[in-house]
Amino acid sequence: MPSLTKLLAAAAAVVALGLPAAQAQDALPDLGGRTIVAVTENAYVPLNFADPASGEGIGFEYDLFNEIAIRLNAEVDWQLASWDVMIQAVRDGQFEVGMDGITINDERKSQIDFSDSYLTSQQLMLVRADEDRFTDAASFAADAANLVGAQAGTTNFYVAVYDVLDGDEANPRIKLFETFGASVQALARAMSIPS
């Protein structure tokens, strides 16, 4: 039988193509109700987060993977873990699938298998609506007073380090946050303080 990664890649492709469930079933294996242990962080709106009313995990990645499981005749056991341990935990077999907006790169490919990409995202800077001290990444980087917030180990962090600043991961201009949402909240608080 093909590996779980290959099965999930095929299922992701079928879901992405928008094939009707009946037609898709002909192209996919039946996992016989098997449970797949998936992990996310619930901290990356709109991909995965906790519903404020119910506390249940919701978002695009929940919807996508739950649909993949239906089409494979499988159940999903959703678990939570912090971003900083997620890839290693998948590598160690604690979880079978990680769903957390994980960017595919060579370093991560050396540690874990990836399905085909199901989402393309761009890295953009969130700034104050009235920001006029800089107009792009280069003019932001040129002013040593400007700080950037990011979650350690994420694509956002590496883009800030290597594409915006000087390549020094310990640069004091980078303020680290436990979650992406916490960095957005810090920016929102800074926006309410007059400059």
Q: What residue segments make up the domains of the chain, in order of their start? A: 4-109, 137-191
Whether 173 shows a pLDDT value over 70: the answer reads: yes
Provide the pLDDT for residue 3. Answer: 61
| Structure confidence at residue 190 as a pLDDT band (50, 70, 90) | confident
Please give the radius of gyration of the chain, using alpha carbons only, rounded to the nearest integer.
19
Q: Express each pLDDT in 78-126 by its tens digit.
A: 999 998 899 999 999 999 999 998 988 898 999 999 988 888 878 888 8
Q: For the whole model, what pTM was predicted?
A: 0.68
| DSSP tag of 173 | T
Residues 114, 111: Cα–Cα separation, whole Å = 10
Q: Express each pLDDT in 43-88 by its tens digit.
A: 888 999 999 999 999 999 999 999 999 999 999 999 999 988 999 9
- Burial degree of 1 (CB within 10 A; 0-12, 13-18, 19+): exposed
Q: What is the spatial order of strands in the sheet that 48-50 belongs to?
A: 43-44, 48-50, 57-58
Residues 2, 29: Cα–Cα separation, whole Å = 10
Cα–Cα distances in angstroms (integers) from residue 80 to residues 16, 37, 49, 58, 90, in the given order:
25, 10, 11, 12, 12
Provide the pLDDT for residue 145. Answer: 93
| Structure confidence at residue 1 as a pLDDT band (50, 70, 90) | very low
Q: Please, what is the average pLDDT of the chain?
A: 87
The β-bridge partners of 80 are: 40
For 4-109, CATH gives: 3.40.190.10
Provide the pLDDT for residue 181. Answer: 84
- C-alpha triplet 114, 119, 122: angle, nearest 5°: 115
The β-bridge partners of 97 are: 38
Question: How many Cα neighbours within 13 Å face the side chain of 103?
Answer: 13
